[in-house]
Structure 1
Amino acid sequence: MRRGGVLAGAAAAVLLGAGGVAAVTLTGQDDVPAAASAAPAAVAEITRSDLVDTKAVDGVLGYAGRRELPNHAPGTVTRVRKEGAVVRRGGWLYRVDGRPVILMYGDIPIYRTMSSGTGGKDVEQLERNLKALGHDPGTVDGDFSWRTERAVREWQEEAGLAETGTVGAAQVAVTSGPARIAEVVAEAGAPAGRSVVTTTSTRRVVHVDLDSGDQRLARIGARVTVDLPGGGEGKGRITSVGTVAEPVRQNGQPTGESTIDLDVTLDDPGDLGRLDQAPVTVNLRSERHADVLSVPVEALLALREGGYGLRLAGGRIVPVETGLFAAGRVEVSGNGLAEGMKVEVPQS
Structure 2
Amino acid sequence: MRRAPLVIGAVALVVTGVAGGALLFGSGEKGRPAPGRTALSASDVRRGDLIDTITVDGTLTYAAERRIAAQTTGTVTSLPSPGRVVGQGGALYAVDRRPVVLMHGTVPLYRALGPGVTSGPDVRQLENALQDLGYGDGLTVDRTFSAATAHAVRRWQKDHGLKQTGSVDAAQVVFLPSDVRVVEAKAAVGDRIGPGRQVLSVTGTHHVVHVDLDADEQQTAQKGRTVSVRLPGGATATGRITSVGTVAHKKNTQGDTPSSGQSPAATIDVEITLSGGKRSGTLDQAPVTVTMESRRRRDVLSVPVEALLALREGGFGVEVLDPGGARRIVAVTTGMYGGGRVEISGTGLTPGMKVGVPAQ
- Give the TM bin, normalised by the shorter chain: 0.7 to 0.9
- Which residue identity does 2:156 align to in structure 1? W
Whole-angstrom distance in 2 between the partners of 1:59 and 1:121? 38
- 1:323 aligned onto 2:335: yes
Question: Which residue is equivalent to 1:86?
Answer: 85
- Give 3-state SS (helix, strand or coil) of 1:19's partner: helix
Please list every run of 5 or more consecutive structure 1 residues that lacks an aligned counterpart in the other structure: 1-17
Per the TM alignment, residue 298 of structure 1 is displaced from its structure 2 partner at its CA by 8.4
Question: Which residue is equivalent to 1:268?
Answer: 277
Contact 1:212 1:259 in 2 (8 A): yes
Whole-angstrom distance in 2 between the partners of 1:171 and 1:265? 34
- Which residue identity does 1:263 align to in structure 2? I
Per the TM alignment, residue 226 of structure 1 is displaced from its structure 2 partner at its CA by 1.5
Contact 1:61 1:280 in 2 (8 A): yes
Question: Which residue is equivalent to 2:44?
Answer: 47
Question: Which residue is equivalent to 2:132?
Answer: 132
How many residues of Structure 1 are paired with residues of Structure 2 in the alignment? 319
- Which residue identity does 1:200 align to in structure 2? T
Change (3 A) 1:285 1:311: closer
Question: What TM-score do you get using the length of structure 2 for normalisation?
Answer: 0.74
Whole-angstrom distance in 2 between the partners of 1:282 and 1:41? 40
Per the TM alignment, residue 111 of structure 1 is displaced from its structure 2 partner at its CA by 0.8
Per the TM alignment, residue 303 of structure 1 is displaced from its structure 2 partner at its CA by 8.1
Q: Deviations 1:325-347 (Å, cap 9, x if unpaired)?
A: 113331222114463222679xx
Change (3 A) 1:135 1:268: closer
Contact 1:44 1:295 in 2 (8 A): no
Question: Which residue is equivalent to 1:245?
Answer: 247
Question: Which residue is equivalent to 1:117?
Answer: 116
Contact 1:44 1:343 in 2 (8 A): yes
Contact 2:154 2:165 in 1 (8 A): yes
Bigger shift: residues 245-254 or 109-118: 245-254
- Give 3-state SS (helix, strand or coil) of 2:232's partner: coil
- 1:205 aligned onto 2:204: no
Question: Which residue is equivalent to 2:150?
Answer: 149
Contact 2:221 2:241 in 1 (8 A): no
Q: Deviations 1:22-53 (Å, cap 9, x if unpaired)?
A: 6xxx9x9x86789x99xx99756553345432
Contact 1:323 1:331 in 2 (8 A): yes
Contact 2:31 2:329 in 1 (8 A): no
Contact 2:307 2:319 in 1 (8 A): no
How much is the aligned-residue C-alpha RMSD, in angstroms? Answer: 3.7
Whole-angstrom distance in 2 between the partners of 1:45 and 1:191? 76
Q: How does 1:198-237 map to 2 (within 5 A)?
A: 198-234=201-237, 236-237=238-239
Contact 2:158 2:164 in 1 (8 A): yes
Contact 1:207 1:264 in 2 (8 A): no
Whole-angstrom distance in 2 between the partners of 1:246 and 1:279? 22
- Give 3-state SS (helix, strand or coil) of 1:53's partner: strand
Question: Which residue is equivalent to 2:13?
Answer: none
Identity of aligned residues (%): 38
Per the TM alignment, residue 247 of structure 1 is displaced from its structure 2 partner at its CA by 0.9
Contact 1:138 1:147 in 2 (8 A): yes
Whole-angstrom distance in 1 between the partners of 2:173 and 2:211? 33
Q: Deviations 1:137-167 (Å, cap 9, x if unpaired)?
A: 7433323333322322221121122333322
- Give 3-state SS (helix, strand or coil) of 1:76's partner: strand
Question: Which residue is equivalent to 2:286?
Answer: 278
- Which residue identity does 1:325 align to in structure 2? Y
Whole-angstrom distance in 2 between the partners of 1:246 and 1:93? 36
Contact 1:104 1:172 in 2 (8 A): yes
Whole-angstrom distance in 2 between the partners of 1:61 and 1:320? 44
Question: Which residue is equivalent to 2:16?
Answer: none
Whole-angstrom distance in 1 between the partners of 2:150 and 2:67? 30
- Give 3-state SS (helix, strand or coil) of 1:341's partner: strand
Question: Which residue is equivalent to 1:178?
Answer: 179
- 1:188 aligned onto 2:195: no
Question: What TM-score do you get using the length of structure 1 for normalisation?
Answer: 0.76
Bigger shift: residues 256-265 or 42-51: 42-51
Per the TM alignment, residue 106 of structure 1 is displaced from its structure 2 partner at its CA by 0.9
Change (3 A) 1:303 1:67: farther
Contact 2:208 2:271 in 1 (8 A): no
Contact 2:229 2:239 in 1 (8 A): no
Per the TM alignment, residue 224 of structure 1 is displaced from its structure 2 partner at its CA by 2.2
Question: Which residue is equivalent to 2:266?
Answer: 257
Contact 2:130 2:153 in 1 (8 A): yes
Change (3 A) 1:132 1:45: same
Q: Deviations 1:43-84 (Å, cap 9, x if unpaired)?
A: 565533454322111122233322223432333322111222
Contact 1:310 1:343 in 2 (8 A): no
- Which residue identity does 1:247 align to in structure 2? H
Please list every run of 5 or more consecutive structure 2 residues that lacks an aligned counterpart in the other structure: 1-18, 321-325
Change (3 A) 1:142 1:245: same
Q: Deviations 1:294-320 (Å, cap 9, x if unpaired)?
A: 132683538877xx3126499976432
